[in-house]
Chain A
């Protein structure tokens, strides 16, 4: 059972946002950011949406939402229905401890990111022998570090490679023969990616981001592309 839960957890736990509003802004400037994207993993695909604010270019507060359609045929089990879905919500704070300008064209940023996440699954039902099982979702906390380097290019373009690493701990919820059960999970998730952005008038920015996420729960990575907009205020 534990192994099964672990394979489920990887769907969700790895879905951390990339927590980057402040790096688009000057230090001391506040702003608002929104983004939307698509994601693809071994047995799921879906979309993501996020909204957040940056306070003085030092603190980011973000709310992220992910909704995924899950394949009926998984590695170890076959779901009873072909329309299982998972919805995830994450609240993430990022304190940018280090915002340094290494040269005229390079910014280096390093942040600490605590967060909270919870997920609900619908239709994730299956049988093991004569037992009927259902996975309900999970909730947990996370603590991570966010790092990136911003290359300020000609014509207000910027390229930002980034790397994030999170440690997560929480509880999975499920039912076995209608009896509720909870199982502890914990593990690491990392994200590696690149963001390309264009700075417009008055400091507004549009960006396109792609990233790969890996975790300690499964051997495969999954991927996310996102477009977004940053507005200073």
Chain B
């Protein structure tokens, strides 16, 4: 049963946001960013929306919301309308923002995160098949590193490969008719991706980002695709 629970856990814990507002802005500029996208993994898919602000091109603060649906057959659930919502608050301190050449920016950030979730109708049988476990929620805290290199191309296009890694620790809650339990879990996740952006007037930028996630929980990778917009203020 543990592997199954771990898999569930992982679905939630790996949903970290893009955290890339400041890299679209010049150092010293404030900005606002939003993005939305879709994600797909083994046994789940969903949508997400993120809003955030950059202060001086050095600190990002972001709020993210995810809405997921789960595959009953793939996860052996007892309900066909199992859903989850996640809420995430993330701060990123871009402690290294360097411009080694006119067309290249290199950015490295430290990123603490806090995340909450709420599951509905996420029920599955106990290992002996005699009872039902209801997975209720989890919450966690994480500390991560963000790295990217921005290549400024002709006609104000930019391409930005990035690699992020994060260590997480948290608790998940599950319940049966007889007991209620909280379990501590910890692990690491990483995401690798590319963002393509186009800058318009006044440094406003429209972008598309694609990512692949991996993790230490022993389940497969999953993917997301986002479109976003950043503008200075």
Q: How far is the CA of A210 from the CA of B143 in the complex (A)?
A: 13
Known: A40-B188, A42-B216, A153-B106. A73 touches B101 (CB 8 A): no
- A29 interfacial by beta-carbon distance below 8 Å: no
Query: Chain A 127-169, CB within 8 Å of chain B: the 1/0 string?
Result: 0000000000000000000000001111001010100000000
Whether A161 contacts B216 by the Cβ 8 Å rule is no
Separation in Å of the A207 CB from the closest CB of chain B? 13
Chain B residues contacting A42 (CB-CB under 8 Å) are 187, 216-218
Known: A153-B106, A159-B106. A221 touches B216 (CB 8 A): yes
- Interface residues in A96-128 by Cβ distance below 8 A to B read 103-106
Chain B residues contacting A104 (CB-CB under 8 Å) are 101
- B163 interfacial by beta-carbon distance below 8 Å: yes
- Within 8 Å by CB of B100, from A41, A154, A214, A219, lies A154
Query: Chain B 202-233, CB within 8 Å of chain A: the 1/0 string?
Result: 00000000000011111110000000000000
Give the segment of A55-63, A80-88, A188-196 that binds chain B: A188-196
Chain A residues contacting B15 (CB-CB under 8 Å) are none
- Within 8 Å by CB of A152, from B100, B190, B216, B217, lies B100
Whether B218 contacts A159 by the Cβ 8 Å rule is no
Chain A residues contacting B219 (CB-CB under 8 Å) are 219-220
- Within 8 Å by CB of A151, from B100, B145, B220, lies B100
Q: How far is the CA of A75 from the CA of B198 in the complex (A)?
A: 46
CB nearest to B191 among chain A residues: A212
- B108 interfacial by beta-carbon distance below 8 Å: yes
Known: A75-B3, A161-B147. A222 touches B101 (CB 8 A): no
Q: How far is the CA of A211 from the CA of B192 in the complex (A)?
A: 11
Query: Chain B 149-167, CB within 8 Å of chain A: the 1/0 string?
Result: 1000000000001010101
Chain A residues contacting B96 (CB-CB under 8 Å) are 153, 157, 159, 196
Whether A194 contacts B163 by the Cβ 8 Å rule is yes
Whether A40 contacts B167 by the Cβ 8 Å rule is yes
Q: How far is the CA of A81 from the CA of B220 in the complex (A)?
A: 29
Separation in Å of the B12 CB from the closest CB of chain A? 16
- B183 interfacial by beta-carbon distance below 8 Å: no
Chain B residues contacting A194 (CB-CB under 8 Å) are 108, 145, 147, 163
Separation in Å of the B109 CB from the closest CB of chain A? 11
Whether B106 contacts A222 by the Cβ 8 Å rule is no
Separation in Å of the B180 CB from the closest CB of chain A? 22
- B104 interfacial by beta-carbon distance below 8 Å: yes
Give the B interface residue count (CB, 8 A): 29
CB nearest to B161 among chain A residues: A161
Q: How far is the CA of A229 from the CA of B149 in the complex (A)?
A: 24
Query: Chain A 172-199, CB within 8 Å of chain B: the 1/0 string?
Result: 0000000000000000000011101000
- B98 interfacial by beta-carbon distance below 8 Å: yes
Q: How far is the CA of A73 from the CA of B19 in the complex (A)?
A: 35
Whether B147 contacts A159 by the Cβ 8 Å rule is yes
Query: Chain B 75-102, CB within 8 Å of chain A: the 1/0 string?
Result: 0000000000000000000001011110
Q: How far is the CA of A136 from the CA of B139 in the complex (A)?
A: 39
- A216 interfacial by beta-carbon distance below 8 Å: no
Q: How far is the CA of A73 from the CA of B183 in the complex (A)?
A: 15
CB nearest to A44 among chain B residues: B216
Query: Chain B 1-43, CB within 8 Å of chain A: the 1/0 string?
Result: 0110000000000000000000000000000000000000000
Chain A residues contacting B218 (CB-CB under 8 Å) are 42-43, 75, 218-220
The 4 closest A-B pairs by CB, nearest first: A105-B100, A220-B218, A153-B98, A42-B218
- List 20 additional A-B contacts (Cβ < 8 Å) besides A192-B192, A196-B108, A223-B216: A41-B216, A42-B187, A43-B218, A105-B101, A105-B104, A151-B106, A153-B106, A154-B100, A161-B147, A161-B163, A194-B108, A212-B190, A212-B214, A214-B214, A219-B218, A220-B216, A220-B219, A221-B216, A222-B188, A223-B188
